[in-house]
Chain A
Amino acid sequence: MTTGALALRLLPIALALPLASCNLVQSPLNPVSPQARDLLWLFWLFTAVLAAIWLAVMLALLMSLRARRTFGADPLAVDPRRESRAGILVAGLAVATGLAVLVLTGLSFAGQRRLFADEAAAVTIRALGHQWWWEFQYENADPSQGFNTANEIHVPVGQTVLVKLESTDVIHSFWVPSLMGKVDLIPGRQNTLRFTAERAGVYRGQCAEFCGLQHAKMGMLVVAEDPETFARWREVQSQPRLEPATDEARAGERAFVAAPCSMCHQVRGTRAAGHNGPELTHVGSRRTLAAGTLPMSRGNLAAWIVDPHGIKPGVNMPLVKLDPDELNTIAAYLEGLK
């Protein structure tokens, strides 16, 4: 196969590749906050300017390759006019390069000043990175209104959200492309980022710093909703767990508290008060399970409990010995924790 034919065959694949990123749930090309829009503007500006420069250089290279130069009797003779023209051209290009670098640096610096501006925030969330899930603590001046949750945050549309980033083990990175650029979570430090969601919707985020075996399955969801819905959600989340309504769920709660589950997980309102794993007080109200890995359902809950290492090899959730009855009732109980 000639190179040309090969290129022709690869062309459709190359054209299809950008389409793969068209899922706008997690894409910096779908900005819904001023911060993400600033970043996207910078992205397009850099891409356009640098692409134009690259094209101009390639064009000049091609022209110089094709140009024929005729020589007189002495090929080494120096033509002073020609030399000075070339000198001016090279100096001009050097100055232009310096200017382009300076202007782009200035723009990116100005962009950062806007991104990291110290605005007052309506909602403050402390995000703690764990291998391999996210702990979110909603802070409130009234401690009874503060609560913990995991892997899913809700934010009010149009209000600034401050996220304080800390890590409990290794370096992670908080990245919700539609809302803000990535910021690292570093052990022993607190970094902050701010964003203001402008449109209601569900945006996916992802750990963006390799953090171990299950780094790829360390996802989260940001649900932006109107302030009234957010206030209702917050009210529900700060309450203790919903009393189990059925006999099955009541048996599930007893089994959950008696089993090793309670050594690591907390369900407020019961004696399960561990803090090593995700808080489960309202786990049934979340959209996903295991840090954005599985959709929430009773079947997936049971599958996750019975074989966490089959779904996320190396995960810290241990294999726990449970009777089938206990497993069933625990899955029913957790699903009911809306």
Chain B
Amino acid sequence: MTRHPLALITLMLALGACQREERAARPSPVGSETQEQVALVKLSPGVPGPTTYTSGKAKEFEGNAYHLSQGKKLFTWYNCNGCHASGGGGMGPALIDDRWIYGGSIENIVQTIREGRPNGMPSFRGRVPDDQIWELAAYVRSMSGNAPASAAPARSDSLHPHPAENRTSPSPPVSGGIVPPSGLLPQ
């Protein structure tokens, strides 16, 4: 009898994992882009803060492993690497830190990609389908740890200090074998 609650919990945990990468194999036909009204500064005349409006589409993309990994792929496809490197920044600002020039919510990032920002960020409106912009924004947020670790994509192979075992070129045979790195350390 004591085993039953355990089995039930295991079953529920297994079902919980089903939400991780929920996706539509056939996305709904294209509508126009969602309306997002974001604030770039906290100041506004009068007492309350600036008026903002979000469509709520973020829920579908944030913390969804499929959309995050698609975003990661698109980040390379659309050459975001060209300016932001792999998130470390270069010509463009770094994305893996917690500094957001134009706001760090997913809607702010979506608007940044759609509209472009001064001093270099181009506008991708009409160039990148809207759903892909959301995927990119979700991925950009995951770079600074703003996505559950269970859903965030893994580090790229290209970022490892050396190629993965299965990608290393076969080393020339050495008679007597190779001294392991630990053997080279002063004893």
Contacts and interface: CB of A to CB of B under 8 A. Distances in A.
Interface of A: 187-189, 213, 258-260, 262-264, 276, 307, 309-310, 313-314, 318-321
B26 A310 contact: yes
A309 B126 contact: no
Contacts of B130: 321
Interface string B1-42: 000000000000000000000000111011110000000000
B166 A188 contact: yes
Contacts of A320: 30, 129
Given A188-B166, A263-B78, A276-B77, A318 B129 contact: yes
B128 A263 contact: yes
A307 B163 CA distance: 39
Nearest to B76: A276
Interface string B94-131: 00000000000000000000000000000000111111
Interface string B35-75: 00000000000000000000000000000000000000000
Contact of A321 (B26, B32, B78): B32
B167 A188 contact: yes
B112 to A, nearest CB: 18
A314 B86 CA distance: 26
Given A188-B167, A189-B167, 8 more contacts: A309-B26, A310-B26, A313-B25, A318-B129, A319-B129, A319-B131, A321-B31, A321-B32
28 contacts: A188-B163, A188-B167, A213-B25, A258-B126, A259-B126, A260-B127, A260-B128, A260-B129, A262-B127, A263-B77, A263-B78, A263-B128, A276-B77, A309-B25, A309-B27, A310-B26, A313-B25, A313-B26, A318-B131, A319-B27, A319-B29, A319-B30, A319-B131, A320-B30, A320-B129, A321-B30, A321-B32, A321-B129
Contacts of A276: 77
Nearest to B135: A318
Given A188-B166, A188-B167, A318 B132 contact: yes
Query: Which of A264, A310, A319: most chain B CB closer than 10 A?
Result: A319
**Most chain A beta carbons < 10 A, residue from B26, B126, B130:** B26
B124 to A, nearest CB: 9
Interface residues of B, number: 20
B27 A260 contact: no
Contacts of A188: 163-164, 166-167
Interface in B125-184: 126-132, 163-164, 166-167
A187 B31 CA distance: 37
Contacts of A321: 30-32, 129-130
Interface residue SS majority, chain A: loop
Contacts of B126: 258-260
A189 B81 CA distance: 24
A262 B27 CA distance: 21
B24 to A, nearest CB: 9
A320 B26 CA distance: 13
Contacts of B78: 263
Contact of A263 (B26, B30, B127, B131): B127
Contacts of A319: 27, 29-30, 129, 131
Contacts of B128: 260, 263
Nearest to B129: A318
Contacts of A307: 29
A23 B149 CA distance: 50
B77 A264 contact: yes
Nearest to A264: B77
Contacts of B26: 309-310, 313
Nearest to B28: A319
A30 to B, nearest CB: 35
Contacts of B163: 188
A14 B126 CA distance: 55
A234 to B, nearest CB: 29
Top-8 shortest CB links A-B: A188-B167, A313-B25, A309-B26, A318-B129, A321-B30, A276-B77, A319-B30, A313-B26
Contacts of A310: 26
A54 B30 CA distance: 60
